[in-house]
Amino acid sequence: AERPKSWEVKLWSRIRHPLTGQTEHGPESDVLIQNAEWRYVVEAKWTADISVHEHGENQIEMRAYQAQLGNLSSENCGVIVVVPSPARYKVASTAMSTFRQYFEMQDESYSWLESAKKLNAKVLTWERLVQIIGARARPKLQAYMHWRLSQIR
């Protein structure tokens, strides 16, 4: 399927929780990228692990739920998890992390496990995002991102 040229982007979009029906305590994505037939929900992390909530669901599961609302084709929706590269993201090397239930370290990047594939969840490193930003001639944003990455310890 061909991706559209025009997208709507929303920050911190909150939806009704599927178990409680409450919006004020519902899942909140970092970024929602969508149009009438496509939807990607972004969960961004710098140093923290993927959170698990009191009802047992985690942020990746909730983002997948939000991505699939409206019965979109599985080919047209998914979750994008943005994290630092394995060298910077200590959570990636922590055996009991929720992140590791979905993604596996692979050199400078990650591969996705079957659990991520089932939710159509992909991982993008902040470092790769900086490369994309630079390729689009955004030098100030790229400089900020380099600085932000340098702050991760």
Structure confidence by residue, pLDDT tens digits, 91-142: 999 999 999 999 999 988 999 999 999 999 999 999 999 888 877 778 888 8
Task: Sort strands 77-83 and 121-125 into parallel, antiparallel or unpaired.
Answer: parallel
Which residues in 45-153 belong to E strands, given as ranges? Answer: 77-83, 103-106, 109-112, 121-125
Structure tokens at 105: 């370290």
Condensed to tens digits (0 to 9), the pLDDT of residues 47-77 reads 999 999 877 889 999 999 999 988 888 889 9
Distance CA 53, CA 50 (A): 10
What is the arithmetic mean of pLDDT over 142-148? 89
> What phi, psi does 87 have (nearest 5°)?
-65, -25
Tell me which residue has tokens 């961004």.
44
**Rounded to whole angstroms, how far apart are CA atoms 92 and 89?**
6
Which pTM does this prediction carry? 0.90
